[in-house]
Amino acid sequence: TSVANGKKIRHVANLIADNRNEDCEVVVVVSALEGVTNQLIQAAEEAKNGNREYIHRFKQEILERHLITAKEAIEDKQLEAEAKQVLIARVGELERVLKGIVYVNELSPKSKDNVISFGERLSAPIVSGALKDLGLLSVHLTGGEAGIVTDSNFGEAGLLMNFTRFQLKKNLEPLLNKGTVPVVTGFIAATQDGETTTLGRGGSDYTATIVGAALDADEVWIWTDVDGLMTSDPKIVPQAKTIPELSFQEATELTIFGAK
């Protein structure tokens, strides 16, 4: 929800710019725009069922939404045009993947991972463009390009942390040393052969902690629509309160028992 639309992305970019300085380099991990991952899952199912009309309509709608978002988030026309070019190319690639699923009449876990990876692959160029618009150096990378390596368990891939730690340091530290803000897609990784995998739902938070651990970050900040750790889900229990302090052990135990 923090990247639900262009105005929110602009707000995120300002937060990053305000909190970054010579003593604090930042890596940004982004999720898809609100609702897009579910829409991509639906599109993949429709493609499996041979619904070409749905695919054509979906392609137009998802492109239009991201172009509008880029226009809202990026004020400089040249930077907006650069983001627009990337978005058009990626939606074209998405359309080809969906048409391939229609053609073979099958949706494998590997193909599904490829389709749903486009949510983050479309949001990252917009966030990176918004940062450039504020005068920062920035590049956008998929999780795989950044160096997050997994096994081939498509749909909920297992992290290969030793490989990942080495690759993330190799790929991201030179950018940070040059003062560049890398914008990395959450949720997405790659096998050692470069095939796209995903880390399961909620994978963007997971990606942020992976990057933080690999780079020995001082802190990992997760910006979301819930104000910290709370006694209950505030969407279900309006009276839920923020827990002011929690030990790592308590947080770990809560996570094991299903808390998010």
* CATH for 27: 3.40.1160.10
pLDDT of residue 106: 93
**Structural domain boundaries enclosing 241:** 226-260
Q: 1 lies in a domain?
A: no
Per-residue DSSP letter, 118: H
pLDDT of residue 1: 59
Contacts of 177 (CB under 8 A, 6+ apart): none
pLDDT of residue 156: 85
On whether both 115 and 237 belong to a single domain, the answer is no
On whether both 135 and 242 belong to a single domain, the answer is no
Residue whose pair of structure tokens reads 């300002």 in the numeric block: 14
On whether both 260 and 139 belong to a single domain, the answer is no
pLDDT of residue 3: 80
- Torsion, Cα 165 170 173 179, to 10 degrees, reads -140
Q: What is the per-residue burial (b if ≥16 Cβ within 10 Å, else e) of 87-107?
A: beebbeebbebbeebbeeeeb
pLDDT of residue 43: 98
On whether both 121 and 156 belong to a single domain, the answer is yes
On whether both 92 and 182 belong to a single domain, the answer is yes
pLDDT of residue 235: 83
Contacts of 166 (CB under 8 A, 6+ apart): 147
On whether both 215 and 242 belong to a single domain, the answer is no
Q: 208 lies in a domain?
A: yes
| 163 and 192 Cβ atoms separated by less than 8 Å | yes
From residue 152, how far is each of 109, 144, 155 by CA, in Å? 10, 13, 9
pLDDT of residue 190: 97
How many domains does the chain fold into?
2
**What predicted TM-score, i.e. pTM, was given to this entire model?**
0.91
pLDDT of residue 254: 80
On whether both 239 and 156 belong to a single domain, the answer is no
pLDDT of residue 227: 74
On whether both 26 and 112 belong to a single domain, the answer is yes
On whether both 95 and 162 belong to a single domain, the answer is yes
Supply 112's token pair: 């599904």
On whether both 152 and 255 belong to a single domain, the answer is no
On whether both 221 and 232 belong to a single domain, the answer is no
| 141 and 50 Cβ atoms separated by less than 8 Å | no
Q: 236 lies in a domain?
A: yes
pLDDT of residue 230: 84
pLDDT tens for the 260 residues of the chain, in order:
578 789 999 999 999 999 887 778 999 999 999 999 999 999 999 999 999 999 999 999 999 999 999 999 999 999 999 999 999 999 999 999 999 999 999 999 999 999 999 999 999 999 999 999 999 999 999 999 999 999 999 988 999 999 999 999 999 999 999 999 999 999 999 999 999 999 987 788 899 999 999 999 999 988 877 777 888 888 888 888 888 888 888 888 887 877 76
On whether both 220 and 236 belong to a single domain, the answer is no
